[in-house]
Amino acid sequence: GRRYEVGVIAGDGIGPEVAEAAIPLIEKAAVAAGAEIAWTRYPWGCDYYHEHGRMMPADALDRLAPLDAIFFGAVGRPDVPDHVSVWELILPIRQAFSQYVNLRPMRLLPGVSTPLAGRGAADLDMVCVRENGEGEYSGLGARYDQGTPEESAEQIGRFTRRGIERVVRYAFSLAASRPRRLLASATKSNALQHSMVLWDEVVREVAADFPEVEWRPYHVDALAARMVTHPDTLDVIVASNLFGDILTDLGAAITGSLGLAPGANLNPDRTHPSMFEPIHGSAPDIAGRGVANPIGAIQAGALMLRELGLPSAHDALQNAVEQVLTEGTVRTPDLGGVAGTSEMAEAVAEAM
């Protein structure tokens, strides 16, 4: 069987709790599929920051580059400014490794309840393809006249034709591969007359190559409302970095819990490793109590197995998750239960 080198950046708060709960399950699924995973743990994050003055070492990207994949927990802690922890760890990896697709399934799993009245699993089966390397999170901008009454700040969204095109093309081909073949583009070209007008133009051009996909643009605010009122009309959603970030937390909430939702930071060209993570953050409000839901991390592990070329391992892990949720006897507090992180992971292991 093949051997995969996977780096683990568990990070802060509940990051290590959910990542360490998920790892043995991912391993078990891989081994059952005849593969082997060699895990290397990198102790980067807020503790590292306090000791070394930076979130990860100067050669971190060089060390990660040869890996087959990166498994990520979450970063951020109240004793380090969030813009430091995010900008010195997760965003540089996404950008340097050209992980320009952030794939975020938003699916109501059987046995999980949605806050949307009268809705069930058949109504909530969406996937967001979020642009992951530029746009509103370009990092460009400045603050001026700090501490004066004239103080101001600029945050520049930088969108490139190439950057939009590649993620939109990925989204259209994903939509073409799904039964409903629908694509919604999140825009805001009525108010953002430069960036989102370019976005709309590129979407229209790429759409011409996918006549089998039924697509339409929605202003992002209306799309957020539509996710709540008519989720059954949505399939693939393609969105810019900020819009996709917001829409996917909403998507996680309406499909049961932020703790369930997985994400994959994909480099579709495979020039660098992709990175897999639950979409939630480090949840300082529940960290250290052993009650975080590990399912988001476990499902992220399943996505990793699929991307590594182990579809049967993906299916085994995903089916075990769905079996445990359907039974509903073991549930963490975010799902209305009383189970801890390790109990939940143990239940998935047994189901496998």
> Interface with ligand NAD by CB under 6 A: which residues?
14, 18, 74-76, 82, 86, 90, 258-259, 277, 280-286, 292-293, 296, 334
Alpha-carbon separation of residue 351 from 256, 264, 323, 325, 348 (angstroms): 21, 24, 7, 11, 5
Burial class (CB in 10 A: 0-12, 13-18, 19+), 51: exposed
**Nearest approach, Cβ of residue 275 and Mn ion (Å):** 14
- Strand-pairing partners, residue 4, are 37
Q: Considering beta carbons, is residue 84 or 121 the nearer one to ligand NAD?
A: 84
DSSP annotation of 162 reads: H
The stretch near Mn ion (CB under 5 A) out of 196-204, 242-250, 295-303, 329-337 is 242-250
- Strand-pairing partners, residue 153, are 143
Residue 245 binding Mn ion, by CB under 5 A: yes
Partner that binds at residue 285, options ligand NAD, Mn ion, none, CB closer than 5 to 8 Å by kind? ligand NAD
Helices (H) and strands (E) in the chain, counts: 12, 12
Q: Considering beta carbons, is residue 235 or 277 the nearer one to Mn ion?
A: 277
**Nearest approach, Cβ of residue 332 and ligand NAD (Å):** 6
> H or E segment at 208?
none
> H or E segment at 33?
none
Q: Considering beta carbons, is residue 155 or 233 the nearer one to ligand NAD?
A: 155
Residues 6+ apart with CB under 8 A from 351: 319, 320, 321, 323, 324
The alpha helices in 186-294, defined as continuous H runs, are: 195-207, 220-229, 241-254
Other beta carbons within 10 angstroms of residue 53's beta carbon come to 7
**Nearest approach, Cβ of residue 290 and ligand NAD (Å):** 11
**Nearest approach, Cβ of residue 297 and ligand NAD (Å):** 7
Q: Considering beta carbons, is residue 33 or 295 the nearer one to ligand NAD?
A: 295
- Give the pairing of strands 182-187 and 152-158: unpaired
Burial class (CB in 10 A: 0-12, 13-18, 19+), 168: buried
Q: Considering beta carbons, is residue 17 or 125 the nearer one to ligand NAD?
A: 17
Q: Considering beta carbons, is residue 22 or 238 the nearer one to ligand NAD?
A: 22
One-letter amino acid at 159 equals F
Of 204, 190, 212, nearest to 161 by C-alpha is 204
Q: Considering beta carbons, is residue 124 or 261 the nearer one to Mn ion?
A: 261
Partner that binds at residue 74, options Mn ion, ligand NAD, none, CB closer than 5 to 8 Å by kind? ligand NAD
Strands (E), 30-90: 36-41, 69-74
**What share of residues in the chain are helix, strand, coil (percent, to 5)?**
45, 25, 35
**Nearest approach, Cβ of residue 220 and ligand NAD (Å):** 19
Partner that binds at residue 280, options ligand NAD, Mn ion, none, CB closer than 5 to 8 Å by kind? ligand NAD
Q: Considering beta carbons, is residue 187 or 293 the nearer one to ligand NAD?
A: 293
The stretch near Mn ion (CB under 5 A) out of 108-116, 131-139, 221-229, 239-247 is 239-247
**CA 43 – CA 141 distance, rounded (Å):** 31
Q: Considering beta carbons, is residue 46 or 213 the nearer one to Mn ion?
A: 46
**Nearest approach, Cβ of residue 128 and Mn ion (Å):** 11
Task: Please identify the residue of the shown chain whose CB is closest to the bound Mn ion.
Answer: 245
**Nearest approach, Cβ of residue 137 and ligand NAD (Å):** 12
**Nearest approach, Cβ of residue 12 and ligand NAD (Å):** 8
**Nearest approach, Cβ of residue 245 and Mn ion (Å):** 4
Task: Please identify the residue of the shown chain whose CB is closest to the bound ligand NAD.
Answer: 76
Partner that binds at residue 245, options Mn ion, ligand NAD, none, CB closer than 5 to 8 Å by kind? Mn ion
What is the binding site for Mn ion (CB under 5 A)?
245
